Amino acid sequence: MIDPAEVGGVPQIGPPVVEVDDLEVNFKGRVGFIAGLMGRKGYDAKAVDGVSLTLHEGEVLALAGESGCGKTTTARAIMGLIVPEKGTIRFKGKVLPRAVGALRPYRRQVQMVFQDPTASLNPRQTIYEIVAEGLRIHNVNEGPNGEGEEQLVAQALSRAGLRPPERFYLLYPHELSGGQRQRVVIAGALVLDPSVIVADEPVSNLDASVRGEILALLMKFLEELRISILIVTHDLGLAWTVADRVAVMYLGRVVEIGPAEEVLQRPKHPYTKALLNVVPKAGGTERPILQGEPPDPTRIPAGCRFHPRCPVVATGRAERLGILGRCTGEDLALDQIAPGHDVACYLTELGEEP
């Protein structure tokens, strides 16, 4: 266990809120009817394959990676939306039950904000009904200070920046702009006074100019309400703006995790470096870009799962350093290289940079 006070030199980080241990999620492979009769079986997709993470109180943890790396699946498992094959998720020290009904009190504490606000909002409900729905589902008739339903909805809307709240009660989602819709989604999450918000690409569907405002809103809750945020994103620039710590995932595993300053400025895993290379920068496209498509989780390569695309292997550097055999043949786990900074790469044992 890492002392949270040491992590990234951010002293305000509190005790663990969500602890994920060795999480595994498989999606069953399917085959056609005839192939099934012939006894053929589909390949299972190992979307998440042994992920351990800790989210501390008052912390923003960014989960980054390409499409299909398992970042959203991890987030959904944490929400209790997917039952994992293996592994445990603890919330404030208690192991999550597997029965869906028993998850209800937990779901009140952990709220989710999805990518597309238009898809998350029921087009036939008014804004008031949308925000109040959570309260009704969880039978919350009274707030912590004796507030009624309307007061709680008004509070959540104005916290989410929709002021004056009364003006929005009777509007429908289509009458709002994209940014306002995402604020309604956030208000719906806030109304239940959660301790964790899981945000899956919360701004990638919004106009660039509106993104900052929505992020600033989330950052404000962090300070005012002492909540924790797990943010799932493919955008490392976003991680730089909001995250305390960054976890980079590849093919169902975390390959590097640590303080944002370290991971994003001094990456130790070749994959993290490759991801940073493709963040658009002024001055042309002349920099190394990883070839190939996002990998297939039904066919996980032996050894380090990144080795077929790894530039260190492709350039022959791994061979010169004498680690090629292990890269291609020996699976490896995360290894601590500094307090709070873990990397899964054979280069780090040699003290080499990617």
- Contacting residue, 34, 38, 285, 351, with other proteins by CB under 8 A: 285
Residues 259-278 that bind other proteins (CB under 8 A): 260-261, 264-265, 274-278
Q: State yes or no: residue 354 binds other proteins (CB under 8 A).
A: no
- Contacting residue, 5, 216, 302, 350, with other proteins by CB under 8 A: 216
**Shortest CA distance to 43 belongs to which of 294, 300, 293, 301?**
300
Contact, 52 vs 20, CB < 8 A?
Answer: yes
Spatial separation of the C-alpha atoms in residues 253 and 24, rounded to whole Å = 10
| Contact range with other proteins by CB under 8 A, out of 87-95, 164-172, 211-219, 321-329 | 211-219
Q: Is residue 164 reached through a cis peptide bond, with omega within 30 degrees of 0 on the bond before it?
A: yes
- Contacting residue, 14, 36, 105, 237, with other proteins by CB under 8 A: 237
Q: State yes or no: residue 26 binds other proteins (CB under 8 A).
A: no
Please give the single-letter amino acid code of residue 66.
E
Q: State yes or no: residue 212 binds other proteins (CB under 8 A).
A: yes
Q: Which is nearer to other proteins, 19 or 66 (CB)?
A: 66
326, containing H or E segment: helix 324-329
- Contacting residue, 28, 33, 123, 291, with other proteins by CB under 8 A: 291
Alpha carbon of 333 to those of 49, 273, 295, 350: distances in Å? 11, 19, 19, 16
| Contact range with other proteins by CB under 8 A, out of 140-148, 151-159, 290-298, 326-334 | 290-298
Q: State yes or no: residue 351 binds other proteins (CB under 8 A).
A: no
Spatial separation of the C-alpha atoms in residues 192 and 111, rounded to whole Å = 8
Contact, 294 vs 67, CB < 8 A?
Answer: yes
Residues 171-190 that bind other proteins (CB under 8 A): 177-180
Residues 90-109 that bind other proteins (CB under 8 A): none
Shortest approach of other proteins to residue 99 CB, angstroms?
36
Spatial separation of the C-alpha atoms in residues 261 and 245, rounded to whole Å = 8
Q: Which is nearer to other proteins, 82 or 276 (CB)?
A: 276
Dihedral-angle region of residue 130 (phi above 0 means left; psi in -120 to 50 means alpha; beta otherwise): alpha
Binding site for other proteins (CB under 8 A): 66-67, 177-180, 207-216, 219, 234-238, 240-242, 260-261, 264-265, 274-285, 289-291, 293-294
